[in-house]
Amino acid sequence: MDRLDHVDAAIQFLDALGIERAAFVGNSMGGQTSLRLATEHPERISHLVTMGPPVGRMPSRFGAGDGPSEGLKVLIEAYRDASPENMRRLVEIMCYDKACFATPELCDARSQAALARPEHLANYVAGLPQGAPLPRWVDPALLPGITVPTLLIHGRDDRVVSFESSLFLLANIPDSRLVLLNRCGHWAMIEHAEEFNRLVIDFVRGNPGDE
């Protein structure tokens, strides 16, 4: 097993708990993992919910053409130097409402948590040339084969992963629907927690799929 393969880890987790199928809800990198799982292990997933997932090798019309997005560049710099100031920049670029969510307390807490695991920070940075933290991406050609009910949630103001990625997913996943939220950055489940929870609960209850 590839130690960086998040899909393998998810399958092992299901097996350890004796869960045959589950609804997968993933933000950003977790959304990419969930997309891969839906294409590679369709028998293990009942519902797919993503929030701001990168898609990888998709045609880009709106995204920056010089490599990683503005938000990803800030994220990488925060891993290289997890100071409170860099964590403040990271939290600010993740959300729309900076006054509410990018508090000094949160930024300091994230900095302290990151600096407590220097080996994790070093491992992330060292792995970047090899594609870490996502050495494997979903194959866009397999997206039309996803048959489970799919809910795509994305912030219109996402500066980490453009909402273009969810538009691409909407166009390629047959049983999908998209909720695009104004005044929302990369953390839809945090910035609009009440609405997000309601959307996911209603979606799972109202779309039994093939179970």
Active site residues: 186
Integer angstrom CA distances of residue 41 from 10, 25, 37, 75, 141: 11, 15, 5, 30, 15
d(CA 34, CA 29) in angstroms, rounded, equals 9
Instruction: Please compute, for residue 5, the number of CA atoms within 13 A of its CA located in the half-sphere on the CB side.
Output: 12
Tokens of 116: 């407590």
d(CA 196, CA 180) in angstroms, rounded, equals 11
Those residues whose C-beta lies under 8 Å from the C-beta of residue 208, and which sit 6 or more positions away, are none
d(CA 101, CA 71) in angstroms, rounded, equals 16
Strand segments (E) across 57-168 = 150-155
Tokens of 87: 């964590």
In the numeric block, the tokens 């996502």 are attached to 134
Cβ 41 vs Cβ 9: under 8 Å: no
In the numeric block, the tokens 């960086």 are attached to 4
